[in-house]
Structure 1
Amino acid sequence: MISRRNSTLALASIALAATFSAASVRAEEAPKVKLATSMGDIVVQLDPAKAPKTVENFLQYVKDKHYDGTVFHRVIDGFMIQGGGFTADMVQKPTRAPIPLEAKNGLKNDTYTIAMARTGIPDSATAQFFINVKDNAMLNAPNPDGHGYAVFGKVVSGTEVVDKIKAVATGNKGGHQNVPTTPVTIQSATLVK
């Protein structure tokens, strides 16, 4: 006869195994998006389990081809590279309505993670995103503004491309600072998985 203690241990072991199995399946099934840039390809793996609305929003912009032809318009070595909102002549593309902030999802603004850019208003993210080029703990929720920035994935291929982009020369253009002097264009953004 199985004792209550042994049956509890057996159930706990099964639950733990199922959790690890489900986590690895989720990682394998997580969508990946390839950003084909003028400096090489970057592949990001998204985390819909932790940032469902943010991932859905990003994927809709990918499906709409919104990112095709946009540039990384804000590049700060030692901080991040930001893109997805402007053309090379610094014209902002129209966007859909802003989404709710999902910054308190447990994901951190660590090196090579992708997060949504926003204004000072928490629920203001639309299409622009950034890739952290260092650990940016000050962007995690709660940060000094009390809200943080929503991480929704990570770079799984092309970190060397991110490193090349972060090192480009920048200047001022169209009222914006830290704009690459030679445009770094996102030629296409495609769902690869």
Structure 2
Amino acid sequence: MRTFFISILTGALLIFSGSASTAEFPQVRVETTAGAFVVQLDDERAPLSVANFLQYVESGYYVDTIFHRVVSGFVIQGGGFSADLVSREARPSIPNESGNGLTNRRMTIAMARTANPHSADAQFYINLADNTGLDPKATRWGYAVFGEVVSGQEIIDDIGHRATSPKGSFQNLPAAPVIIERVTIEK
């Protein structure tokens, strides 16, 4: 009898673990003047952030925007400004999904925001290092991670090592613009 229950339990574990590992998360290919990278989006743990990002992708919003903030060893940030530093008009902000179990570790993508925890709209950043200081704490909101770079990490690192300089209100603007040329949903 014990062997029977162990067999049933083992079978159930195999079925459920197999279905979890085959879950298809959306992937988005981002082609820039520095090269291409692919992000895989976790729509199970960050459904609002992923839906928001995909709406911007589908509308073509990110095309011809730049990575306007590059802080070596920290983050690269983009999705809000054209190459001539004109702000793109974004849709209304979304609720903060930090605390979803995803952390700001190296090569994750997250929603950029202001000091207001629920102010994220179009801008995103990619972590160049483990930045757990951006994760939520008991006394404050964090920054919502919604996926990770699964291909082209060397492109992200290259962008992260670009020379920067201040210009107007931009403190870490790449000297040579990194422009997003094309963004497509792969699956």
What range is the shorter-chain TM-score in? over 0.9
Deviations 1:113-140 (Å, cap 9, x if unpaired)?
Answer: 1001011111111000000000001011
Give the Cα–Cα distance (whole angstroms) in 1 for the partners of residues 107 and 165 of structure 2. 23
Give the partner amino acid of 1:185.
Answer: I
Partner of 1:114: 109
Contact 1:43/1:157 (<8 A) preserved: yes
In 2 relative to 1, CA 11–53 (structure 1 residues): closer, same or farther, beyond 3 Å?
A: farther
Partner of 1:94: 89
Partner of 2:152: 158
For the pair 1:14 / 2:8, whether they are aligned, the reply is no
Partner of 2:62: 67
Deviations 1:99-125 (Å, cap 9, x if unpaired)?
Answer: 111111111111111001011111111
Q: CA deviation at 1:18?
A: 2.5
Give the Cα–Cα distance (whole angstroms) in 2 for the partners of residues 131 and 65 of structure 1. 20
* Structure 1 unaligned spans of 5+: none
Query: What's the RMSD between the two structures over aligned residues?
Result: 1.4
**What secondary structure sits across from 1:122 in the alignment?**
coil
Q: Aligned residues, how many?
A: 187
Give the Cα–Cα distance (whole angstroms) in 2 for the partners of residues 159 and 55 of structure 1. 20
Moved over 6 A (4+): none
Q: CA deviation at 1:15?
A: 3.2
Give the partner amino acid of 1:101.
Answer: N
In 2 relative to 1, CA 53–8 (structure 1 residues): closer, same or farther, beyond 3 Å?
A: farther
Give the partner amino acid of 1:181.
Answer: A
Compute the TM-score of the two structures, normalised by the length of structure 1.
0.92
Q: CA deviation at 1:16?
A: 1.9
Contact 1:68/1:189 (<8 A) preserved: yes
Q: CA deviation at 1:175?
A: 1.4
Give the Cα–Cα distance (whole angstroms) in 1 for the partners of residues 149 and 4 of structure 2. 42
Compute the TM-score of the two structures, normalised by the length of structure 2.
0.95
Give the Cα–Cα distance (whole angstroms) in 2 for the partners of residues 34 and 50 of structure 1. 20
Partner of 1:31: 26
Q: CA deviation at 1:89?
A: 1.4
Q: CA deviation at 1:141?
A: 1.6
Partner of 1:46: 41
For the pair 1:176 / 2:170, whether they are aligned, the reply is yes
Contact 1:90/1:173 (<8 A) preserved: no
For the pair 1:191 / 2:178, whether they are aligned, the reply is no
Give the partner amino acid of 2:36.
Answer: D
Which range moves more in the overlay, 172-181 or 112-121?
Answer: 172-181
Q: CA deviation at 1:8?
A: 4.6
* Structure 2 unaligned spans of 5+: none
Q: CA deviation at 1:24?
A: 1.4
Q: Percent identity?
A: 49
